[in-house]
Amino acid sequence: MAGGNERSMKALKEVWKREENSLCADCGKPDPDWASSTLGVFICLSCSGIHRNIPSISKVKSLKMDHWDDAQVQFLAKHGNAMTKATYEAHIPIYYYQPTYNDCQVLREQWIRAKYERKEFTEPGKHLPYSDGVKEGMLWKRGRDSGQFLPRKFLLSEREGCLKYFTKQDAKEPKINVKIDVINATFQPGKIGNPNGLQITYLKDNKTRNIFVYHESGKEVVDWFNAIRSVQFHYLKVAFPIASDNEIKNRLTRNFLKEGYMEKTGPKQREAFKKRWFTLDHRRLMYFKDPLGEVFVGSRENGYSVQKGLPSGTQGNFSWHYGITIVTPDREYLFTCETETDQLEWIAAFTSVINQAMTPQEYAIEAYFKFKS
């Protein structure tokens, strides 16, 4: 018996160390140490927890702690991540967001369920609930003033190229009508206070606006997210007919580069530093007050830079001591972070933006910011 166990473990390790199995089959996390004995995929601990919630589809075991018999090892050897992906990920729409291990639980869970439970991507031309070019339904929306979430009817239309919401079910005119090409959507469960929380950001008169929504069903809110991406993709295909599919895909919804608290002082640099929640959405550094504050972060070739620390002689009172200075052609913006780790992460995020060349649209936004100031 001991010899059989030893033989099985040796065979298991050989399958495990194949290059195709070096990343989690579902989220891409390196060095997965769990596997599904019924699907034949190697997965990480976090994704194994999601698999455990669909026991009719997937039975998971630890590669290090559990016993694997010869038949199970042979099943893993016959399948593995590459073959299983070829089956369950054969026909993923290019606009569909495939989450990584950095993404939130609801995105990863619905991705796994879409693949293995609903088998949404196993055959071509399958009808998908986010591919119709139109989606209508109720979402819980946070009120701007009260902060209370109330049910609101939303309508997404590819034909009209917009997202609308209505304050009443039978209302004929929308409260807001947003063009699809100015929308970004990103999951923000912590900020919204709900595991299915979705933040919809859009531009109105070159100013950033936010809609915070959620749905009780994780599937429904992820379907809304991918429906927005689908409509955006087809809208941009018409707007930029010579662009490749991958180029257009890269222009769809994007995660924020960095979020967190910093302290900020005013333009005179003598005011007290105030703690704000900041969000870096590519070239827009937004901070939450009333109204929403924004700083445009341009490119290095246009006179923008980021520096560690504050200018000597800074007079404003601050309680955090890890400073950051953003230099623009018109002024300097001063911030402080609570820890050195926060400081270095923010500097890295700003540097990644500043090192990128600006697009014609971004030059127009920069001009608006200069005019506004």
Task: Provide the CATH number for the domain around residue 101.
Answer: 1.10.220.150
Note whether 291 and 316 are same-domain residues.
yes
Note the pLDDT tens digit of each residue in 133-148: 999 999 999 987 778 9
Note whether 196 and 274 are same-domain residues.
no
123 assigned to some structural domain = no
Q: Which residue has the higher pLDDT, 267 or 92?
A: 92
Note whether 1 and 110 are same-domain residues.
yes
Q: What is the dihedral sign for C-alpha 286, 110, 227, 163? A: negative
129 assigned to some structural domain = no
Q: Residue 324 above 60 pLDDT?
A: yes
Note the pLDDT tens digit of each residue in 191-202: 899 999 999 999
How far apart (Å, rounded) are the C-alpha atoms in residues 337 and 260? 9
> Coil, helix or strand for 166?
strand
Note the pLDDT tens digit of each residue in 105-116: 999 999 999 999
Q: Residue 372 above 70 pLDDT?
A: no
How far apart (Å, rounded) are the C-alpha atoms in residues 181 and 248? 12
324 assigned to some structural domain = yes
Note the pLDDT tens digit of each residue in 214-262: 999 999 999 999 999 999 999 999 988 898 999 899 889 988 899 999 9
Note whether 45 and 61 are same-domain residues.
yes
Q: Residue 267 above 70 pLDDT?
A: yes
What pLDDT is stored for residue 234 in this prediction?
A: 94
- Predicted confidence band of residue 290 (pLDDT cuts 50, 70, 90): low
Percent of the chain past pLDDT 90, that is, above it, reads 70
Task: Provide the CATH number for the domain around residue 276.
Answer: 2.30.29.30
Long-range contacts of 21-24 (CB under 8 A, 24+ apart): 21/80, 21/81, 23/81, 24/101
126 assigned to some structural domain = no
User: Which residues on neighbouring strands pair with residue 148, listed in sequence order?
Assistant: none
Q: Residue 3 above 50 pLDDT?
A: no
- Predicted confidence band of residue 1 (pLDDT cuts 50, 70, 90): very low
Note whether 176 and 223 are same-domain residues.
yes
85 assigned to some structural domain = yes
The predicted model gives 153-161 an average pLDDT of: 95
Note whether 152 and 82 are same-domain residues.
no
Please identify, among 208, 227, 250, the residue that sits at the C-terminal boundary of a domain.
Answer: 250
Going from the C-alpha of 69 to that of each of 6, 10, 58, 103, the distances in angstroms are 10, 12, 17, 34
Tally of domains in the chain: 3
Note whether 279 and 297 are same-domain residues.
yes
Residue type, 147: G
What pLDDT is stored for residue 229 in this prediction?
A: 97
- Could you list the residue range(s) of the whole structural domain that residue 285 is in? 258-371
What pLDDT is stored for residue 371 in this prediction?
A: 65
Please identify, among 250, 266, 298, the residue that sits at the C-terminal boundary of a domain.
Answer: 250
Note whether 317 and 224 are same-domain residues.
no
> Which stretches within the chain are classed as H helix?
2-16, 45-52, 70-78, 80-88, 105-112, 189-192, 218-239, 245-249, 340-354, 360-372
pTM: 0.84
Q: Residue 271 above 70 pLDDT?
A: yes
What pLDDT is stored for residue 52 in this prediction?
A: 96
Q: Residue 272 above 50 pLDDT?
A: yes
The predicted model gives 341-363 an average pLDDT of: 92
Q: Which residue has the higher pLDDT, 205 or 38?
A: 38
Mean pLDDT, the chain, rounded, equals 91
What is the chain's Cα-based Rg?
Answer: 24
Percent of the chain past pLDDT 70, that is, above it, reads 97
Note whether 109 and 164 are same-domain residues.
no
Note whether 8 and 112 are same-domain residues.
yes
The two structure tokens encoding residue 326: 């953003």
Note whether 144 and 218 are same-domain residues.
yes
Note whether 272 and 215 are same-domain residues.
no
Please identify, among 202, 221, 250, the residue that sits at the C-terminal boundary of a domain.
Answer: 250
Please state whether beta strands 258-264 and 207-214 pair in parallel, antiparallel, or not at all (unpaired). Answer: unpaired
How far apart (Å, rounded) are the C-alpha atoms in residues 208 and 282? 12
